[in-house]
Structure 1
Amino acid sequence: MNSIEMKNFDKADETRTFEGHGFADFVMVGGRTVARGHFEPGWRWSQDVKPIVGTDLCQVSHLGYCLAGRMRVTMSDGTEQELTPGEVAAIPPGHDAEVVGDETCVFLDFGEIAEYAMRK
């Protein structure tokens, strides 16, 4: 690449809607997929994304930044961590997650998310 490549989430390459509580916008830039997820109050991966992808837990590796709201991530071994605005997180595959509180959680994801919430 010999020039600067820029995209804007307001003109996303793709938007994927969850089963009930939110959506994610995706842009391709620099040969990578970047997502901005809007996880509305009541969103839970096992209720809103599991029916789309068909796995027991999220099998995506996330690397991102929490812009707003709060989200609790529960790993397959039962350990939990809560993300809050301003935090950067690396979340390995094998987890469930849910929005905490009544504010939409907005999460910018640079991880391996090209197929996140993609119907199989």
Structure 2
Amino acid sequence: MVMASLVSRSFDSSDETRPFEDSKGRLDVITTDRGPVGRAVFEPGWRWTEHVKPIAGTDSCQAAHVGYVVSGRMKVVMDGGESIEIGPGDLVSVAPGHDAWVLGDEPCVFLDWVGFGDYASPTRTAGR
């Protein structure tokens, strides 16, 4: 396999778009030679337990995430109760076993290069 020395892709022309339940956002996925990278747009009112759990089929999000918050705010609560609020400019690492929801009236835009490969995919049953 030969890797290109330079690649530029736009999330506006992603390889796949996965809508969340009730039109509360979407995940745009670009497949690279180093793995998938995702841009999620979580609309105000979005909550994992309401808008992704029906797709994932698990009690909490079982994806690990390493990502960057572009805009908006979100609260993340681990199954054990630990919580954080994240916002623009934050680099975030979240272990599997959590719920999350948008804070405020602005969409939360989140880039993730670890946990969005199977996230919100009805054809992949990885519990994300």
| TM-score, normalised with respect to structure 2 | 0.90
Residues 1:96 and 2:96 aligned together:
no
Q: Deviation above 3 Å: which 4+ runs of structure 1? A: none
Q: Deviations over 1:70-108 (max 9, x none)?
A: 000000011110001000000110000000011000001
SS in 2 for 1:25: strand
Task: Give the SS at the match of 1:108.
Answer: strand
Which structure 1 residue ranges, 5 or more long, are not aligned? none
Q: What is the rounded CA distance, in whole Å, between the counterparts of 2:4 and 2:58 in structure 1?
A: 40
Does residue 75 in structure 1 map to residue 90 in structure 2?
Answer: no
Flag the 1:69–1:2 CA change in 2: closer, same or farther, 3 A: closer
The number of residues matched between the two structures is 120
Equivalent of residue 24 in structure 1, options 24, 27, 31: 27
Task: Tell me, in whole angstroms, the C-alpha distance in 2 between the residues paired with 1:12 and 1:87.
Answer: 24
The sequence identity of aligned pairs, in percent, is 48
Alpha-carbon RMSD: 1.0
CA offsets 1:5-58 (integer angstroms, 9 cap, x no match)? 332101000000000210010001233100000000000000000000100000
Tell me which moved more, 108-117 or 8-17: 108-117
* Structure 2 residues not aligned, in runs of 5+: none
